[in-house]
Amino acid sequence: MVSVDHEVVQPFAPIVNLDLTTESGSRILWDILNAPGVAAVHLGLPCGTSSRARELPIPEAMKRAGVPEPPPLRSAEHPLGLPNLADHHWKRVHSANLLYRLAIEIVLWCHEHNVVLSIENPANSWLWAALVALAREHSVAAAVALGKLQMVLFHACCHGSSRRKHTGWLSTPGVFDALKATCQNDHEHEPWGVKWNAGTWVFDTSTEAHYPHLLAQRAVECIVQFLLSKGLTVDKPLRLHDRSTAAQGKQSKKHKPLVPEYHHVVSVKTGDPAPANSKLLPPHFQGGRSEEGGDKMEETPLTAFSKFGIYHTPKQFLSMAQRVWHPMDSADHLETVTKHALDLFFDTRLMW
């Protein structure tokens, strides 16, 4: 998994720090997207300029205390920005629109490459109208790709948040249905407000940009279940350190065996003779005893089984060993960006 963000303070996970409003930042992002094995893309687009909370008046008492009153920057008639905005507001809207345009290109790319996609924002955000306008501006293909996405709605408090934030999750149809949830008001919610912090006023809406751990876990589980249903395998990638030790020939339990210990695994009724050239598997290797019965338990007795791992024959082992690459013969332990840098360096040396 690769996370990309800009100017994040104390992130919960490692991130690639990129300014995607710049040409260099977006070019690096496309290099990441075009790397092999990309199965899903999630876009948590900034909603500051698209927030409908800007349309809510600030109470007079709070204004007298110095709380600012952010003005609306978009509308149904002008989803890409109201006319005659002040310069500093126009710059914020323009910067957000650059990211929204990039999002439309990613929507089209994911559609063309059959990659799972999701986009998150408040359910009533002007972002959704802005994306429609930008997709039509981009191309018919982009508008079609955006139109095929499914909106999943939920209250964030149902997935670990302390506030009843109504959230929209525009996504590949059928992938994130499990996230649909409506709060029944059967638990406490933190109120919305504004606080003075480190010399500035901070609105609680901005603090909701961080996803609760529970929401992140459930979203990932939706993606994993969808990929498994398509017959794909989802394995946790090894750390760079683990791949480097493999390249040095050092063995570790974190590395998959070059040749599996058993050729295959069989289930045998408990009490029957053990298969030839086999070993009884312990429970933590999904072995030991299990019981199976019919639908009518009172008529069909339970049958106990034990699992045995069948060893390779010498010929089978030799055949598999001949197909194994020695770790030092592979560059898999190197990050893609490192391999690109080496290729560029040696190509330049040859030109000299």
Domain ranges of the chain: 37-229, 252-351
pLDDT at 187 over 90: no
The Cβ of residue 344 has, within 10 Å, a number of other Cβ atoms equal to: 10
**∠ at Cα 254 (248, 257), nearest 5°?**
75
Rounded Cα distance, 293 and 283, in Å: 20
> Region 29-47: what's the mean pLDDT?
92
Residue 23: predicted pLDDT: 93
Residue 114: predicted pLDDT: 95
pLDDT at 59 over 70: yes
Residue 297: predicted pLDDT: 38
pLDDT at 146 over 80: yes
Residue 301, both tokens: 């007795």
In which band, very low, low, confident or very high, does the pLDDT at 299 lie, cut at 50, 70 and 90? very low
pLDDT at 296 over 50: no
Residue 258: predicted pLDDT: 74
Residue 6: predicted pLDDT: 78
Rounded Cα distance, 266 and 283, in Å: 14
Buried b (16+ CB within 10 A) or exposed e, 8-37: eeeeeeeeeebebbeeebbebbeeebeeee
pLDDT at 269 over 70: yes
Residue 341: predicted pLDDT: 80
278 versus 246: the higher-pLDDT residue is 278
pLDDT digits (tens, 9 = 90+) for 159-181: 988 889 999 999 999 999 999 99
> Region 107-136: what's the mean pLDDT?
96
Residue 258, both tokens: 């070059």
What percentage of the chain exceeds 90 in pLDDT? Answer: 43
Residue 243: predicted pLDDT: 65
Residue 186: C-alpha distances to residues 107, 160, 189 (Å): 37, 14, 10
147 versus 61: the higher-pLDDT residue is 147
Evaluate whether 220 touches 175 at the Cβ level (below 8 Å).
Answer: no
Residue 115: predicted pLDDT: 96
pLDDT at 69 over 60: yes
pLDDT digits (tens, 9 = 90+) for 307-351: 888 999 999 888 888 887 665 565 555 667 777 787 777 766 555
- Paired with 181 in beta bridges are 154
301 versus 98: the higher-pLDDT residue is 98
Residue 234: C-alpha distances to residues 216, 223, 237 (Å): 17, 10, 9
Helix ranges (DSSP H) in the chain: 23-33, 60-64, 87-113, 127-138, 140-147, 204-207, 213-229, 240-247, 314-322, 336-351
In which band, very low, low, confident or very high, does the pLDDT at 257 lie, cut at 50, 70 and 90? confident
Is residue 310 packed enough to be buried (19+ CB in 10 Å), middle (13-18) or exposed (0-12)? middle
Residue 200: predicted pLDDT: 75
Q: Extract long-range pairs of 53-58: CB within 8 Å, 24+ residues apart.
A: 53/203, 53/205
Amino acid found at 168: G
Residue 62: predicted pLDDT: 75
For 150, how many CA atoms within 13 A lie in the half-sphere containing its CB?
11
* Highest-pLDDT range among 8-17, 53-62, 214-223: 214-223
Evaluate whether 16 touches 8 at the Cβ level (below 8 Å).
Answer: no
- Paired with 269 in beta bridges are 305
Residue 293: predicted pLDDT: 40
In which band, very low, low, confident or very high, does the pLDDT at 61 lie, cut at 50, 70 and 90? confident
Residue 306: C-alpha distances to residues 276, 289, 293 (Å): 14, 5, 15
Residue 54: predicted pLDDT: 86
